[in-house]
A and B are shown apart, each in its own frame.
Chain A
Amino acid sequence: MSKVNSGNLFVFLVENLIWVLVLVALIVFSLLSDKFLTPFNMVNLLVRVAALGLLVIGQSFTLITGNFDLSSESTMGLTAMVGGLMIASTVNGGLGWEVNPLIAIAVMIVLGCAIGWINGTLITKFKMNNFIVTVAMLMILRGVTYAISPGQSTSFFPELFDFLGSGSVMRIQQATGRFLPIPAAAIFLILMFAVSHVVTRYRRFGRNMYAVGSNRSAADAAGIDSQRVILLVYIVSGLFAALAGLLEAGRMDSATPRMGSGMIFSVQAAAVIGGISLFGGRGTLIGAFGGVLLWGILDTGLNMLQVSPFWIEVSRGLLLLFAVFLDAMKVRYLHRIAVRKALTGNTIGLQDPVMT
Chain B
Amino acid sequence: MDSQAGTPVLEMRGIGKAFPGVQALADVDLTVMPGEIHGLVGKNGAGKSTMMAVLMGIQQPDEGTIVIACAQFKAMTPREALASGVAYVPQRIAMMTPLTVAENVLAGMMPVNKMGFVNWGQVYSEADRRLKQLGLEMDVRARVEGLSVAEQTMLAIAKALFSNAKLIILDEPTAALPRPDVDRLFAFVRSLRSHGVAFIYISHHLEEVFEICDRVTVLRNGRLVETRDVAGLDTPTLIRLMVGEDVKEFAREGSQAPQRTEVMVVKDLVRRGHFEEINFTLHAGEVIGIAGLEGCGASSLAKGLFGLQRMGAGDVTLGGKPYNAMTPMAAFEQGLAYLPQDRYLLGIVGARPVRENITYPVLHRLARAFGFVNQDEERKLVQDYITQLGIVTPSAEQTVSLLSGGNQQKVVFAKLATTRPQVLILHEPTQGVDVHAKIDIYRIVSDLAAQGVGIVIISSEVRELLGVCDSIMVMYRGHITERFVVGAPGTTPENILIAIEGGAVNVAQ
Contacts and interface: CB of A to CB of B under 8 A. Distances in A.
B107 A222 contact: yes
B296 interface: yes
Contacts, number: 119
Given A2-B141, A347-B148, A354-B273, A204 B95 contact: no
Contacts of B98: 210, 214, 277, 281-282
B118 A352 contact: no
A351 B272 CA distance: 12
B153 to A, nearest CB: 12
B178 interface: yes
A215 B180 contact: no
A244 B428 CA distance: 59
Contact of B99 (A204, A210, A334): A210
B109 A223 contact: yes
A328 interface: no
Interface string A275-316: 001000110000000000000000000000000000000000
A351 B178 CA distance: 7
A117 to B, nearest CB: 22
Contacts of A221: 82, 94
B108 interface: yes
A222 B159 CA distance: 9
B272 to A, nearest CB: 8
A48 interface: no
A348 B143 CA distance: 22
Interface string A319-353: 00000000000000011011001110111110111
Interface in B151-191: 151, 159, 163, 176, 178-181, 184
Contacts of B120: 202
Interface string B29-50: 0000000000000000000000
Classify the interface of chain B: helix, strand, loop or mixed: loop
A203 B116 CA distance: 7
Nearest to B93: A218
Contact of A353 (B150, B159, B276): B276
A342 B118 contact: no
Interface centre among B108, B181, B296 (most CB of A within 10 A): B108
Contacts of A224: 107-108
B96 interface: yes
A346 B273 contact: no
Interface in B439-483: 477-478
A352 B276 CA distance: 12
A353 B112 CA distance: 46
Nearest to A201: B118
A341 B104 CA distance: 20
Contact of A354 (B96, B108, B477): B477
Interface of B: 82, 94-99, 103-104, 107-110, 112, 116-118, 120, 141, 143, 145-151, 159, 163, 176, 178-181, 184, 272-274, 276, 295-297, 477-478
Closest 8 CB pairs of A and B: A214-B96, A222-B107, A342-B148, A222-B108, A223-B108, A338-B146, A202-B117, A224-B108
13 contacts: A198-B117, A202-B118, A208-B107, A210-B98, A214-B95, A218-B107, A282-B98, A335-B145, A337-B146, A341-B146, A351-B178, A353-B274, A354-B477
